[in-house]
Structure 1
Amino acid sequence: MRLEPAAVPSGPDRRIRRKRRPGVRRLISYVCLTLIAVVMILPFLWTLSTSLKGQNETIYSMPPRFIPELFTLENYATVWNSLPLPLYVWNSTVLAFFGVLLPAVFCSMAAFPLARMTFRGKGAVFLIIIATMMIPGEVTMIPVYLILNKLHLLGSYTGVILPAAVSAFGIFLMRQGFLGIPKEIEESAVIDGAGVIRIFLLIMMPMVRPMLATLAILSFIASWNNFLWPYLVIEDDRLYPLTLGLYKLKGTFVTNTRLIAAGSVIALLPILAVFISFQSYFIKGVQSGAVKG
């Protein structure tokens, strides 16, 4: 019995198969990304739904109900009238302002020489900075607390802001941005007589705005959501940020999940506003960092 050789696809058939493969891969990618997005957004939708439910409506049910039977803003009004939220929001705004400004300044100043200058030991310095990213923050929390205590900075905003004024990740992020700038631009500025400070402020910084915006967004989110460190440092209730102020809901209303959900949504609104406003810069920064990394 003689076996016939398998037919080999012709040129057009091969092209069709090649075109189908990227399409299938893209479809699989979209499906996976959609599932991930749904998993990530479900907790937020549940929190928003809980904050809009009345006191007599069931919160926990199977399957969960995301649409309230009767929409009400009573939970938000109760939280607003029970806590000095304007004071807490102002305190969080002050901490977030310096929590964004200082990392942007100091991380940029540290990253610029690591990316654009040549000096002995530059590689070793950068490796040491990157190595600190592997140390959990809880490990350094006690030493930093003791240092602040010796400096008499406990109980103040300075004690909250100073430890986060610079970060290894921020230096790494800004270094990636500076590395992406063509060397010819810097050489042209030197020929025109520009000094190091002028090159850094007037040429380099405007060209790394996507990375700077990315660092600003991440720093704002970290500062606005910071809970443990302000809880350890701040003692006066009048200096509490919003995260610590909302923590009082747990003791004030015990098991009233609706009020806790309403407070969480209030705390989330500024983060959404900042991210939506700067999302284009954030996406550019992430894309450029991924390509250069």
Structure 2
Amino acid sequence: MSRPTLSLSRARYTLGPWARIAGLTVCALLTLGPVVWTVSTSLRTPADSFDLPPQIIPAHPSSAAYHGVFEQIDVWLLALNSTLVTALIALGQMITAGLAGYAFARLDFRFKKPLFGLVLATMMVPLQVTIVPVFLVLKTTGLTDTLLGLIVPAFPTAFGTFLMRQYFLGMPKDLGEAAMLDGAGPWRIFRSVYAPLARPGLAIVGVLAFNYHWNEFFRPLILETSGQNYTLPLGLVSLQGNLGTGSISVVLAGVVLSMIPAVAVFVVGQRPLREGITSAGVNR
């Protein structure tokens, strides 16, 4: 009875890694399939865009669609606006999330738990519910149709605050207590002790904020009316007129161009995040 059981366990052990690899391969194909199709179609001519069955590798690759994007919209201005907005929002969220997360994790003050619960409750409120009050506030301050009106309201982040609070709670209290015995105050303890250890968490907040707000469409659509203040996702809407002429390759070429910065940030940010998390675990 023991031999069949042993052989069965060995078979399961042998098939286990291959089953995981097969499952991950299927998930990767489902995720990357639309991206590959988008890039492939952007390199086709309008006449080849609707071939059936579709060809993954274009028979006659052409960059005409990308030239059409630059001719129809000011890509450089839109990319500059998006870069400025998303970079400042990411930096602002790193600062506010770090400070708020440290306060909720390490400081004692009245109504601490109710306030933190209120912060978490804001995560369940859709953006469409708050956009009208935000618009009215920005209108009274003269920040509508400005890039600053997109940046400042996005500084508070409930998810980033929750993430950094959990990150600070995982750090040892002995470090702060030792600094307090040396005469350091709360601000000095945060700046000199906990903030350097929290760099991996802050990097995660920054990368997620950049990727989210780079692709953001709803807020710029409501708050911006001048073309000079459009972000890249909003400017790409003007390319939809090509769908009526069958030039879907021009639209997808614009989509590919908009994906490049987000992919670059993700690729570049992978190594610092991995190394930072590993070093933080060793320091703990």
Query: Are 1:87 and 2:83 matched, yes or no?
Result: no
Which ranges in structure 2 are unaligned for 5 or more consecutive residues? 280-284
What is the DSSP-based 3-state SS (H/G/I as helix, E as strand, rest coil) of the residue aligned with 2:46?
A: coil
What is the aligned partner in structure 1 of residue 264 from structure 2? 273
1:13-38 deviations in Å (ceiling 9; x for gaps): 76665565455444333322221221
Q: Partners of 1:204 and 1:243 in 2: how far apart?
A: 37
Larger Cα-atom Rg: 1
Provide closer, same or farther for how the CA distance between residues 284 and 61 of structure 1 changes in structure 2, counting only shifts above 3 A.
Answer: farther
* Structure with higher helix content: 2
Structure 2 residue corresponding to 1:260, chosen from 247, 251, 254: 251
Task: Specify whether residues 250 and 285 from structure 1 end up closer, same or farther in structure 2 by C-alpha distance, changes over 3 A only.
Answer: farther
Per-residue CA deviation, residues 123-166 of structure 1 (Å, 9 max, x unaligned), is 22222211211122112222222222233221111221122111
The alpha-carbon deviation at position 171 of structure 1 amounts to 0.5
Q: For residues 89-126 of structure 1, what are the alpha-carbon distances to aligned partners after superposition, in whole Å with 9 as ceiling and x for unaligned? A: 11111111211111111111111111112233222222
Determine the C-alpha separation between the residues in 2 that align with 1:27 and 1:39: 18
**Other-structure match for 1:209:** 199
Closer, same or farther: CA 170–19 of 1 in aligned 2, 3 Å:
farther
Q: CA offsets, 1:62-88, max 9 Å, x none?
A: 3x3211001111111121133211111
- Residue of structure 2 equivalent to 1:59: 50
Aligned pair partner of 1:73 in 63, 71, 90: 63
Offset of residue 253 of structure 1: 6.1
Aligned-partner Cα distance in 2 for 1:128–1:20: 52
| Equivalent of residue 36 in structure 1, options 24, 27, 34 | 27
What is the percentage of aligned positions where both structures have the same residue? Answer: 34
| SS of aligned partner of 1:226 | coil
- d(CA) in 2 for partners of 1:20, 1:208: 44
In structure 2, relative to structure 1, the CA distance for the partners of 1:230 and 1:25 (3 Å cut) is: same
* 1:104–1:212 contact (8 Å) kept in structure 2: yes
Gaps of at least 5 residues in structure 1 are: 1-6, 289-293
User: How far off its partner does 1:251 sit?
Assistant: 3.0
Quote the residue 1:291 is aligned against.
Answer: none
Q: Relative to 1, partners in 2 of residues 1:26 and 1:54: Cα closer, same or farther, differing over 3 Å?
A: same
The answer to whether the Cα contact below 8 Å between 2:81 and 2:147 also exists between their aligned partners in 1 is no
Match of residue 111 from structure 1: 101
- Report the equivalent of 1:196: 186
Q: Structure 1 residues 60, 139: CA separation in 2 closer, same or farther (over 3 Å shift)?
A: farther
RMSD: 2.4
